[in-house]
Structure 1
Amino acid sequence: MLGNWSLGDYWKRDAISWSYEFLNKELLLDSKRLWVTCFAGDSDAPRDTESASIWKSLGISDGRIFFYGKKDNWWGPAGETGPCGPDTEMFYDTTGFAHGKDCKPGDDCGRFFEIWNDVFMEYEKTKEGKFEPLKQKNVDTGMGVDRTTAVLSGLDDDYKVEDLWGNILSSIEEETKTKYKGNEKAHRIIADHVRAATFVISDGVIPSNKERGYVLRRLIRRATRYGRMLGKNEKFLTKIADATIETYKNTYPELSEKSDYIRQVLTEEEEKFLSTVSKGLRELEKLGELDGKKAFFLYESYGFPLELTEEIAKERGQKIDQKVFEKQFEKHRKLSRTASSGMFKGGLADHSEEVKKLHTVTHLLHTSLRKLLGEIVTQKGSNITVERLRFDFSYPKKLTDEELRKVESIINEQIKKDLPVSYEEKSLDFALKE
């Protein structure tokens, strides 16, 4: 993705004019093949006639300007509340590839490639659901690098760009014993998701059920499912990751540097899912028509992300009520909190010298693990008594005996230094920053 921002500076006329100039003057795309869409307006915000007028002034005729609602021409907010606004989207007409003359931008006919959009964030969505004007107007643009490269190469499919996808798609064909032609959807999903996962893992994200880790988990598990749909029931994602690394290593050398680690994370997550996916799919068949409660059961029991169950439901012509799923999820979370109340307590169990020493050792242990294994190590909890300490941390694999010996050695070296020990009370946010 390529893009640029304006925070309270230029607005629609400059943003649209510069987008057009870059596409037409710098990339030399035929202006007669550029089509655009704008926001149609609703009870929250007016029709974006301003953007349409600017496009007309640049030579885009009425017949190549379309208006759509929030589903297609609105961005945000990222959560329930926050900045948001209409956008205008730019499409390239691939008429030369004979995909049909009757479709329009936004259709699935394959004639049009969306290559860029300019988002005009001028509203704030409040908790009450109102859309109020922001104090300053902002622009956020995004151009699809793969799609634009395909257009510049005279291709009608960005997965046909050999330099970007050739090795990756070939590895999928080899591993699944299937051809790209006739299996485009599955091959594209596997290629896209494994490429994304490879980069995300190299940036230090590991699969989990929260935030970025959950996005990564969903990518890996969806790719695994599509592999199974192609008949691949064994692990294979590391081979696709190897092809990704080979393709991008010259531009992103960190991929090669972390290749062993990337393979390790992918292998372990794929193994986890494969160990339950067969049972989960069999159970899914028994469940009949899927709904929110059944989707949560699959999530809780077999690790099926909601999005994966929704996709299966859609293939069956069914729809899952997300609100029911979320209600079940919240109920489960409350029960978990209730069950653990009174069992775990912050601070020390007592303040004897033995406990104080072991508490200090937990900090030494955490630091030693991060020094040896990297900042990917994250503390998840600890428990200390007069007899022993327990330290819980996240790391994608079991430590080897040699790694355990090294951690022990680092800790003992620090203890032998007999350094002064002190304690300070700080907020969690402040402590994490330090």
Structure 2
Amino acid sequence: FNSSEDYMGGDGDRFLEIWNLVFMQYERSADGVLSPLPKPSIDTGMGLERVTAIKEGKFSNFDSSLFMPIINEISKLCNKTYIYESGASFRVIADHIRSSVFLLAQGVSFDKEGRGYVLRRILRRALRHGYLLGFKQAFMYKLVDVVCDLMGGHYSYLNEKKDFIKEQIRLEEERFLSTIENGIEIFNEELKNTKEIFSGEVAFKLYDTYGFPLDLTADMLREKNLKVDEEKFELLMNEQKAR
């Protein structure tokens, strides 16, 4: 709440949007023409997590009872105290393990493309944040129990597939953890030579050899206010597909 921008809708921290209203008034046809709806309405977008945070008097969704049990378990596993101001990695892991559990329970598998690659990217981004917290071995599968305890009452299929989910996450963790340390070393070495744009060749090597999705590399660079040469990366990717 230290921002000088103390008006609603500003970029500062003084106000936090917990609810937005969408006025459903027109229908847009295929040719772009807007026609009034016979029954205009208002769509209220708040969401369970924001409702929970407000009802519990919390500043953030992650401080609510929907996330804190997961964050507390992460804290226990890494033997580090969670502090909101410096706890981004805890929150990323908590959010991503929950997403991964639901995706696996609903039939999505880790893969090199499609929905399976989205799942892989989610988990590997979380693993990189685990690395920042000091995890060197598989740990995310140990969080499956607490996710199922939290959500299994409403989504019973989570408990039915819990053992399968844990095993799939453990195997995927071990695949990536076998290369993540070498990949981060290569990333850091190239970082020394980067002023604004990170090499697309190195980004592709990280993807192709060490299993780093491009958006993971871009995420790491964003923390340094840098960008990756995506054009070169895509060129190398297309060349590989053409072989």
TM-score by length of 2: 0.84
Counterpart of 1:228 (choices 131, 140, 149) is 131
Counterpart of 1:175 (choices 53, 77, 89) is 77
Q: How many residues align?
A: 230
Structure 2 counterpart of 1:133: 32
CA 1:183–1:172: 2 relative to 1, 3 Å: farther
Amino acid at match of 2:138: K
Matched, 1:214 2:117: yes
Is 1:115–1:148's contact at 8 Å kept on the other side of the alignment? no
Which protein has greater RCO, CA pairs closer than 8 Å, 6+ apart? 2
Structure 1 counterpart of 2:229: 321
CA distance in 1, matches of 2:146, 2:29: 43
Unaligned runs of 5+ residues in structure 1 are 1-97, 125-131, 336-434
Counterpart of 1:284 (choices 180, 187, 196) is 187
Q: In the TM superposition, what are the counterparts of 1:289-308 in structure 2 within 5 Å?
A: 289=194, 290-308=198-216
Structure 1 counterpart of 2:173: 270
Matched, 1:259 2:149: no
Counterpart of 1:151 (choices 40, 48, 54) is 54
CA 1:274–1:206: 2 relative to 1, 3 Å: same
Matched, 1:111 2:15: yes
Deviations 1:118-144 (A, max 9, x none): 3878487xxxxxxx6168789987543
CA distance in 2, matches of 1:322, 1:208: 22
Structure 1 counterpart of 2:152: 249
Q: CA RMSD in A?
A: 2.6
Is 1:180–1:187's contact at 8 Å kept on the other side of the alignment? yes
Matched, 1:238 2:118: no
Is 1:168–1:243's contact at 8 Å kept on the other side of the alignment? yes
Give the SS at the match of 1:118. strand
Deviation of 1:183 after TM superposition, in Å, equals 3.2
CA 1:282–1:137: 2 relative to 1, 3 Å: farther
Amino acid at match of 1:118: V
CA 1:250–1:334: 2 relative to 1, 3 Å: same
Give the SS at the match of 2:19. strand
Give the SS at the match of 1:112. coil
CA distance in 1, matches of 2:110, 2:36: 37
CA distance in 2, matches of 1:296, 1:215: 18
Is 2:5–2:11's contact at 8 Å kept on the other side of the alignment? no
Unaligned runs of 5+ residues in structure 2 are none
CA 1:142–1:211: 2 relative to 1, 3 Å: farther
More helix by share: 2
Is 1:197–1:220's contact at 8 Å kept on the other side of the alignment? yes
CA 1:306–1:250: 2 relative to 1, 3 Å: same
Q: In the TM superposition, what are the counterparts of 1:45-64 in structure 2 within 5 Å?
A: none
CA 1:161–1:136: 2 relative to 1, 3 Å: same
Is 1:106–1:112's contact at 8 Å kept on the other side of the alignment? no
Deviations 1:76-122 (A, max 9, x none): xxxxxxxxxxxxxxxxxxxxxx5656244362526313433638784
Please say which structure displays the higher CA radius of gyration.
1
Is 2:199–2:228's contact at 8 Å kept on the other side of the alignment? yes
Is 1:123–1:133's contact at 8 Å kept on the other side of the alignment? yes
Deviation of 1:285 after TM superposition, in Å, equals 2.0
CA distance in 1, matches of 2:22, 2:14: 22
CA 1:286–1:188: 2 relative to 1, 3 Å: same
Amino acid at match of 1:331: E
Deviation of 1:311 after TM superposition, in Å, equals 1.2
Deviation of 1:146 after TM superposition, in Å, equals 0.8
Matched, 1:332 2:243: no
Amino acid at match of 2:97: V
Deviations 1:36-76 (A, max 9, x none): xxxxxxxxxxxxxxxxxxxxxxxxxxxxxxxxxxxxxxxxx
Structure 2 counterpart of 1:309: 217
Amino acid at match of 2:211: G
Is 1:116–1:144's contact at 8 Å kept on the other side of the alignment? no
Is 1:199–1:255's contact at 8 Å kept on the other side of the alignment? yes
Overall identity of the aligned pairs, in %: 31
